[in-house]
């Protein structure tokens, strides 16, 4: 059984990591080469900061290289629920932060010339039962009125034309959502960070991060380095030596359904359970 992530199996691995032992004196050390760590490293290096990026495995090894490839706008809950919980001003900022993040990624891809098949494919929130229609229509109307006029309601007939499936009774279309090849994006971000002057170590798990008089001393099996500041960007892969942060992580289940490679003809045929996604450039991704 092959356990390599699809994204890494179908992209060219980052080749710019240093092979030297961990060493040096840096203004900032970033621990973890997922999307957060890569973006922080690239941003700092671009602004002239002397920055080191330290990764226990390889670039994009964790959740950044093990996901569905979607860049989703909006939130699974309704805007009204978010407003009731956070207040209107915070709910609007929260909602728009999703759009802003996709805009930011799109801008970085263009600026750095990263070939990662980015496209605004859109997202469908599907009504799998007739009883779902009224609630999703109300959600769509609220979103259009309050935060996102681009959101559209698709009737059951519209969904059938799009997916070729009889399984759904309508859908909310969020056209701002996007998709991309996550492995190519992660490796492209690492290449950009290195190009701007960052020093990147792979296969160097951090064994200790100790405060010293002028900053921090970080050690790995190959050596150690000094840094004035440290950014911990390990998320769900936070090791036990950062137990303070590890104990504050809340796991969230996420599931991806995939198929074997499909022929062009088969990819246009409906799936009995959830429909199919057409290969044309404007087709949305689906979210049941």
- Every domain of the chain with CATH number 3.50.50.60 lies at 6-66+182-246
Residue of 126, 164, 142, 166 whose CA lies nearest to 267: 164
pLDDT of residue 263: 85
Query: Torsion over CA of 2, 71, 143 and 163, rounded to 10 degrees?
Result: -50
pTM over 0.75: yes
pLDDT of residue 288: 36
pLDDT of residue 265: 81
Fold type of domain 6-66+182-246: FAD/NAD(P)-binding domain (3.50.50)
Better pLDDT: 9 or 278: 9
The rounded mean pLDDT for the chain is: 89
Q: How do residues 185-244 score in pLDDT, each as one tens digit?
A: 999 999 999 999 999 999 999 999 999 999 999 999 999 999 999 999 999 899 999 999
- DSSP structural state of residue 179: E
Better pLDDT: 285 or 164: 164
The percent of residues in the chain predicted with pLDDT above 70, rounded, is: 92
Mean pLDDT along residues 160-175:
90
């Amino acid at each position: 059984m092959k356990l390599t992530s699809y994204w890494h199996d179908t992209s060219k691995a980052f080749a710019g990591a240093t092979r030297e032992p961990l060493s040096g004196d840096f203004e900032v050390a970033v621990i973890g080469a997922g999307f957060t760590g890569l973006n922080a490293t690239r941003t700092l290096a671009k602004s002239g900061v002397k920055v080191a990026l330290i990764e226990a495995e390889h670039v994009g090894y964790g959740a950044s290289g093990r996901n569905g490839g979607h860049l989703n706008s909006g939130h699974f809950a309704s805007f009204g629920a978010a407003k009731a919980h956070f207040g209107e001003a915070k709910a609007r900022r929260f909602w728009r932060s999703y759009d802003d993040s996709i805009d930011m990624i799109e801008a970085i891809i263009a600026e750095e010339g990263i070939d990662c098949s980015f496209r605004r494919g859109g997202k469908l929130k599907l009504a799998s039962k007739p009883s779902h229609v009224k609630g999703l229509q109300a959600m769509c109307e609220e979103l259009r009125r309050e935060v996102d006029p681009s959101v559209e309601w698709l009737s059951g007939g519209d969904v059938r034309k799009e997916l070729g499936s009889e399984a759904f009774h309508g859908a909310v279309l969020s056209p701002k959502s996007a998709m991309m090849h996550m492995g190519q994006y992660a490796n492209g971000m690492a290449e950009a960070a290195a190009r701007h002057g960052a020093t990147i170590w792979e296969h160097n798990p951090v064994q200790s991060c100790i405060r010293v008089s002028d900053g921090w001393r970080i050690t790995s099996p190959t050596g150690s380095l000094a840094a004035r500041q440290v950014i911990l960007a390990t998320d769900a892969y936070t090791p036990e030596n950062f137990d303070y942060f590890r104990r504050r992580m809340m796991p969230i289940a996420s599931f991806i359904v995939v198929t074997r490679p499909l022929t062009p003809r088969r990819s246009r045929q409906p799936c009995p359970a959830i429909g199919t996604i057409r290969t044309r450039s404007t087709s949305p991704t689906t979210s049941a």
